Amino acid sequence: MDANGHYHAIVAAQAMTDETLIAGIARGDRTAMHALYARHSRSVYRFALRMMGDPTAADDIVSTVFLDVHRAAGTFEARSRVSTWLLAICRNKVLALRRRRTPDQLSDADAMAIEDDTETPEQSVVREDAAAALRRALTRLSAAHREVIDLVYYQNMSVEEAGQVLGVPKNTVKTRMFYARKQLARLLAEADGGAVTA
């Protein structure tokens, strides 16, 4: 295939649904693999980074996730969205790596703050302080609570989808969300100098 034909194949693949790309990958279509990687590698990386706290390890996880997708595309049964399947693979890879490594910690650089170009310098300082306090509070949550916060708030997943990634019923996700938010509120109040009892 010439360069022009390759370009048109990439454009066509980018317009395909995730499920169509997975079917293409199962048939050995490299363009479909490139399109799926381009579409989802960033969210898989961010999820791995927030779980691992290590950019190099997160990069390695992304590589192994998409290697697994290449190998297992033919077994995908579409019982969940492809993005949910990818994050479930990612989570399993992270958990396997954690078992072989020291206890996990989330670094301050892992949580992301949204920039607002219209704010004043004073508002910027307040926002940055609040974002830093939130990042510190997130590092103190249990791994289970960090995961559920990440999936629902950072990955914008529904409770059902988060449950599929975590391999737990949706009521368990709701319970973890409740306790995670409660603990975050307590930690943020402590950081703000409030006297909050457990």
Of 56, 131, 130, whose CA–CA distance to 97 is shortest?
Answer: 56
Helices and strands, number each (H, E), in the chain? 9, 0
At residue 78, the pLDDT reads 79
Contact 31, 9 (CB under 8 A): yes
How confident is the prediction along the chain (198 residues), in pLDDT tens digits per residue? 555 555 555 666 677 899 999 999 999 998 999 999 999 999 999 998 888 888 888 899 999 999 999 988 888 887 888 999 999 999 888 888 877 764 444 444 444 433 444 445 555 555 566 667 777 777 788 888 888 888 888 788 888 888 888 889 989 988 988 888 888 888 878 877 654 444
Distance CA 193, CA 85 (A): 41
Residue type, 94: V
Q: Considering the chain, what is the average pLDDT of its residues?
A: 78
At residue 129, the pLDDT reads 63
At residue 110, the pLDDT reads 42
Distance CA 40, CA 19 (A): 13
Query: Which domains are present in the chain?
Result: 1-104 (1.10.1740.10), 110-198 (1.10.10.10)
Distance CA 70, CA 75 (A): 10
pLDDT in tens, 35-86: 999 999 999 999 988 888 888 888 999 999 999 999 888 888 878 889 999 9
Structure tokens at 25: 């990958």
Residue type, 76: F
Residue type, 34: H
Distance CA 19, CA 101 (A): 34
Contact 93, 151 (CB under 8 A): no
C-beta atoms surrounding 109 within 10 Å: 10
Concatenating the DSSP letter of every residue in 125-160 gives: HHHHHHHHHHHHHHHHS-HHHHHHHIIIIIS---HH
Give every CB contact of residue 128 below 8 A, 6+ residues apart in sequence.
113
Distance CA 21, CA 124 (A): 42
Helix (H) or strand (E) holding 173: helix 170-191
